[in-house]
Amino acid sequence: MNESRAAIRYAKATLDLSVESKASEAVEKDMRTVVKTISDSKELQELLKSPVVKGSIKKNALLSIFKGSHAITEGLITTLTSNKRVSLLNEVALKYIILNEQLKGENVAYVTTAVPITADLEKSVLKKVSELTGNKVSLENKIDESIIGGFVLRVGDLQYDASIANKLNGLKREFTNSL
């Protein structure tokens, strides 16, 4: 099964359970913590992807890292571990956030840039994305120097990649295909 489809299914199930339990905001807060923690830690990313580390060790590590999280969040970690899908945790958390915000009529636009964006640029991006989606939009800026320059804009399932790294890869593919 496609990894993204699996992540969406876990996220939808988690959202349904959290809405039913009237805990969607608490679980969203946990999911934001999960995304931030995993994206900030290369060691944690490697642990989750490692086929050598046992699932029980991954589960115990995650439960201790996210100690104090809502029971639904802990249940998600346990379920992903028992189904040998714990490597999807970050993607499930991202999908949960997106789905919950769509449920509330809000969207989050994720802009990845090589350097932090200015306040003026942030306002213009927010205005344009609000026009395109028709919803209230908030903006999150992620810094990734590997894109060299330009930006990558992601709103929901849509992504626009105007990064220099992407354009260089396109040129590289064209040159290798023409040889």
The reported pLDDT for the residue numbered 105 is 77
Q: Are strands 151-155 and 106-113 parallel, antiparallel or unpaired?
A: antiparallel
The reported pLDDT for the residue numbered 102 is 81
Q: In sequence order, what DSSP letters do the residues of 36-82 get, joined into one string?
A: HHHHH-HHHHHHHH-SSS-HHHHHHHHHHHTTT--HHHHHHHHHHHH
Domains of the chain, earliest start first:
3-101 (1.10.520.20), 106-178 (3.40.30)
The reported pLDDT for the residue numbered 140 is 84
The model scores a pTM over 0.85: no
Q: What percentage of the chain has pLDDT greater than the value 90?
A: 55
Q: Which H helix or E strand runs over 112? A: strand 106-113
The reported pLDDT for the residue numbered 132 is 80
pLDDT tens digits for range 40-64: 889 999 999 999 999 999 999 999 9
The reported pLDDT for the residue numbered 160 is 87
The reported pLDDT for the residue numbered 8 is 92
Residues of the chain with pLDDT under 70: 1-3
